[in-house]
Amino acid sequence: MKILLCPLSDGGYLYPAIAAGRELRRRGHDVGVLGRSTAATVASDAGLPFAAAEDYGGHRAFSATWWGPTGAAQYRAIVRAAREAGADLLVTSVLCNGALLAAETLDVPVVVIGLAAHLWDYRSGGDDEPHLGRTRQSRTQDCLRIHNGLREQTGLAGRASRWGDEPLLGDALLLRGDPELEYPGARLPERVRHVGPLSWEPTPDPAEVDAIADHLSRSGKPVVYVHLGRFFEGRSLWPRLNEAFTGGRFQAVVEQGRSTDPQPAPDADILLVRKRWMGPLVDRAGLVLSSGTSAPVLAALLRGRPLALSPNGSEQPLLTGACLRAGVAVHFPNRPSAAASALLESAWRDDGLRARAHVLGSRLAAMDGAARAADVVERVAGASAAPPAGATAAFPAGASTAPSAVASVS
């Protein structure tokens, strides 16, 4: 079977798809990646053939920042690349409406890889779930509005979706979390499956890891790993970070890939980094401070690290609420009335918090997400394994696994 991975090219979306793709390749399937040219070295490190979306008219089409406005370009790029490759099935990520509509046009199945918690309406239950800024119904309707708008742009408005009133799920949606991260009593839609973290990241450069370790060892202070997600609204968290890591007991390693305009104070114990990987940095830390996006939350839990979460928008409040209910995180409010260093100290010393993080992380690690994801992909493909008519090219045609000069993927 020929499988095209076409998720968003940002690391939090791309890396889980690669984890699933590598397992599918191990099972004998022909797997390749379509994404922004910036993702070429990542695909090369994973050993998967790569095709640049820009070569198919997909400029900005696989960026998390531009996921809404560039849906039509994403659709066109996927249709062209999939036809050229003779793809039998697409694997994409949430927010990739272009991939969903491309699958309809190509008449091939599409599997969607989700976040750590379900974004949209439950099938039933969860009626008393706190809204955390907005309701699930509001989030679902917004996403459907964007999806339907793209149907009009691509000329598919007159054709009913083969997934009925739940087109955002594709033929299957894979959640990277655990049932404990869903609201108690809520039932997920039938096509949604938990597969676990789908953990993979590019191979760290040992010299870079050693250089960071040498820097951190100079002060000897306990390390907090800080990984902020996309900033949507409200106040910057940087004043709070400077407060927490200036003249106190802790030092921080701050990933700046998604943190716009980092502003560390001159005397703050803060090391800014921009890396494609976070595993060695989480290993070094005793606590992870995040805005509540899936990648750092799952990386922390897999290593038994407790969390301090300061959500900003999108999935962040929803996943933060799930982690607070599970007792694996504390809230790190972005307001000066709560002493930042005292909050970190309390979380660091909370043995119960750490024990619960270890238990949930151990359960996530035992799920073998890549195998579960591959099982779902193969089941979805079972009834429609024939390639599109007229497709003969190897997958992906003209693609290369050689690295190119690229920018960092956060």
pLDDT at 172 over 70: yes
User: pLDDT tens digits for 140-170?
Assistant: 999 999 999 999 999 998 888 889 889 999 9
User: pLDDT tens digits for 325-360?
Assistant: 999 999 999 887 779 999 999 999 999 999 999 999
Secondary structure string (H, E, C) spanning 9-34 = CCHHHHHHHHHHHHHHHHCCCEEEEE
% of the chain at pLDDT higher than 90? 80
User: pLDDT tens digits for 361-388?
Assistant: 999 999 999 999 999 999 999 855 544 4
Nearest to 169 by CA among 93, 67, 104, 98: 93
pLDDT at 257 over 90: no
Say which residues have a Cβ less than 8 Å from residue 366's Cβ, sequence separation at least 6.
none
CA 269/CA 248 separation, integer angstroms: 8
The two structure tokens encoding residue 379: 């089941």
Task: Write the burial class of residue 207 (CB in 10 Å: 0-12 exposed, 13-18 middle, 19+ buried).
Answer: exposed
Distances (CA, A) of 354 to 56, 110, 302: 47, 38, 12
pLDDT at residue 187, rounded to an integer: 97
Going by the DSSP 8-state scheme, the letter that residue 69 receives in this structure is T
pLDDT at 178 over 90: yes
pLDDT at residue 259, rounded to an integer: 66
Mean pLDDT of all residues belonging to the chain:
90
Strand partners, 272: 254
User: What 3-state class would DSSP assign to 285?
Assistant: coil
Nearest to 410 by CA among 221, 193, 229, 185: 229
The two structure tokens encoding residue 37: 């040219």
Going by the DSSP 8-state scheme, the letter that residue 271 receives in this structure is E
pLDDT at 121 over 50: yes
Mean pLDDT along residues 107-115: 97
The two structure tokens encoding residue 189: 């839609």
Q: Where residue 11 falls among pLDDT bands split at 50, 70, 90?
A: very high
pLDDT at 313 over 80: no
pLDDT at 115 over 70: yes
pLDDT at 301 over 80: yes
Q: Where residue 102 falls among pLDDT bands split at 50, 70, 90?
A: very high
pLDDT at 389 over 50: no
The two structure tokens encoding residue 182: 């869903």
DSSP string, 99-152: HHHHHHHHT--EEEE--SS--S--SB--TT---TTS-HHHHHHHHHHHHHHHHH
pLDDT at residue 230, rounded to an integer: 67
pLDDT at 407 over 50: no
Cα 49 from chain centroid (whole Å) = 21
